[in-house]
Amino acid sequence: MATAAISPDILAKYEPVIGLEVHVQLLTATKIFCGCANRFGAEPNTNVCAVCLGLPGALPVLNEKAVELAALAALALNCEVRERSIFARKNYFYPDLPKGYQISQYDKPIAEHGWIDVPTEDGSMKRIGITRLHMEEDAGKSLHEGFANSATRTYLDLNRCGTPLIEIVSEPDIRTSDEAFEYLTRLKEILLYTGVSDCNMEEGSLRCDANVSVRLKGAERFGAKAEVKNVNSFRFIRAALEYEIERQVEVIESGGQVVQETRLYNANEGRTDSMRSKEQAHDYRYFPEPDLPPLLLSQEFLERKRAELPEMPEARRKRMIAEYDLSEQDARTLTASRQFADRFEAAAKTARNPRRVANLLLSEVAGRLKALNLEPEQSPVSMSGIVQAADLLEENKISSRQLKQLFDICFEKGEDFGAVYEREKPQQITDSAAIEKLIDEVITANPGQLEQYRAGKTTIAGFFVGQVMRASKGQANPALLNQLVIKKLGS
Ligand code: ADP
Ligand code: ZN
Ligand code: MG
């Protein structure tokens, strides 16, 4: 924390108020108003045309795909979608905006009144309102470094001009930096599940401005807010908010006033710095875009889009917790991406016991991946390999000890389960007499435990099963072993 420390008591007198504005690039093939490729990383100023450069006489034509993705996102975020929305010109001067205005939406955005539920500190869920979701075009990029004469010059890359964006504006409902973090995490997850954006923050596909003010607890009116820009990870946003909350409390406590302004987050220093006083809406001279007709969406179109929505992450987690007997944390792991959850569920469906597949994936596979610092996609054991292993366990054809050994080999050699199983073909003892002999030995060696069993502590049977399994080097048929141990202990 870079502020002079404020005592927790003083901090606790105040309530932070936070609202987030998130810009998301839509995954279209072409830009929002022209046919230029919508692609990151091309040579500077190669994906440009008269329309996105705003040359005189060029006219915009709305990209239908961008509308479809915006509508999908709006529905996924529980918004009401307007049947008639209006594009508007937002006028300002900036070198990366050759047109001198940005085509956006103003008082009639495509969607309003949505929400996202986020978990709070005490584990309950809290609903964060979404004020509006509107469509707009992106601007270009000023390049301040990377050239021999960057010290004296700024270069422009206009490839990004006209990239389709949606801006999602939250209500000032967020009260802690953790809630802000959760809101962003869930928003991103919903957008990824819906497939409207890749949400890649490094490439700028998802950008967030954080508005924050503080007020004395119990006060009715909001305080003056600062808008923090230029924050490129959710963790930095949390850190920037924490810094900013303390800074504002400090200003007020020392008798000053928070000024409404735009501030920049400096990740290296861990603080925010004043950038400029905040512009007001009227500074932009918004007016309806004369070159575009109103955007009309039929109920039929919206119903079609609604039907396209996948199961949303939160609902999916709830269902999977019940279906596979998972903890909340396990459900989070399995649903971290829609693709992964789809792969898991498609595979689990084919197994004799789907819960076992979940269990193996979360314990044996996840544990080994973590130890090797690998991503799920890099696992040598495929989903069908896990299903095969789960089925063998379910059918008592291998013991869990053998399964662990086979998984060890898979991860050592980078081979899938099927291949390793075929080669190793672990031995299994299914001869009752041989198993009974081992049981007798273990019982003789552990008279104390036998005593306890006879005295009514039947759970201690598990101890005997474990000891015999170990004595058999993991080779005893598990079902037979269980059965024989119970029989022997009872006799
Ligand atoms: P502006 O006109 O400055 O752009 P808006 O009313 O459009 O402000 O709100 C922008 C964002 O700031 C929204 O997410 C909103 O919830 C949030 N916000 C508005 N007022 C406050 C405040 N006093 N403190 C914190 N956040 C606020
Ligand atoms: Zn273009
Ligand atoms: Mg605003």
Please write the tens of the pLDDT for every residue from 337-382: 999 999 999 999 999 999 999 999 999 999 999 999 998 889 999 9
Q: How far is the CA of 281 from the centre of ligand 3 (A)?
A: 7
- The interaxial angle of helices 478-490 and 447-454, nearest 10 deg, is 70
Query: What are 116's two structure tokens?
Result: 């996202």
Q: For the chain, where do the domains classified as CATH 1.10.10.410 start and end?
A: 432-490
- 85 contacts 110 by C-beta, under 8 angstroms: yes
188 phi-psi bin (left φ>0, alpha ψ -120 to 50, beta other):
alpha
Rg (CA), the chain: 30
Task: For ligand 1, pick from 115, 225, 244, 258 the residue to mutate: most ligand atoms within 8 Å of CB.
Answer: 225
- For residue 280, the model assigns a pLDDT of 72
- Which atom of ligand 1 lies nearest, measured to the CA of 224? 23
- For residue 1, the model assigns a pLDDT of 44
Distance CA 431, CA 334 (A): 40
Distance CA 201, CA 227 (A): 19
Which 3-state string (H, E, C) describes 409-459? HHHHHCCCHHHHHHHHCCCCECCHHHHHHHHHHHHHHCHHHHHHHHCCCHH
Which residue is associated with the tokens 């109103």? 294
Distance CA 188, CA 166 (A): 13
Q: How far is the CA of 169 from the centre of ligand 3 (A)?
A: 8
- pTM of structure: 0.86
CATH topology classification for 432-490: Arc Repressor Mutant, subunit A (1.10.10)
- For residue 278, the model assigns a pLDDT of 67
Query: CA-CA distances (angstroms) from residue 162 to 158, 206, 316, 384?
Result: 9, 16, 35, 44
Task: For ligand 1, pick from 183, 211, 213, 286 the residue to mutate: most ligand atoms within 8 Å of CB.
Answer: 211
- For residue 458, the model assigns a pLDDT of 84
Distance CA 98, CA 93 (A): 8
Print burial letters for 198-221: b (CB count within 10 Å at least 16), e (below 16): bbebeeebbbbbbbbbbbeeeeee
Distance CA 56, CA 52 (A): 11
- For residue 123, the model assigns a pLDDT of 83
- Which atom of ligand 1 lies nearest, measured to the CA of 212? 25
- For residue 4, the model assigns a pLDDT of 58
**DSSP conformational letter for 284:** G
Nearest CA to 143 out of 100, 95, 101, 99 is that of 95
- Which atom of ligand 1 lies nearest, measured to the CA of 211? 26
Q: How far is the CA of 141 from the centre of ligand 3 (A)?
A: 22
Return the residue whose CA atom lies nearest to atom 9 of ligand 1.
Answer: 19
Helices and strands per DSSP (H, E), number in the chain = 18, 16
What percent helix, strand, coil does the chain show, rounded to 5? Answer: 40, 20, 35
List ligand 1's pocket residues with C-beta within 6 A. Answer: 17-21, 169-172, 211-213, 222, 225, 278, 281
Return the SS3 of 23.
strand
Mean pLDDT by 10 residues, the chain (491 residues): 71 95 97 95 94 94 98 98 97 94 97 96 93 98 90 94 98 96 96 96 94 95 92 93 95 92 89 79 89 97 96 94 92 92 94 94 93 91 96 91 93 95 87 89 90 87 89 86 88 76
For residue 164, the cross-strand partners are 137
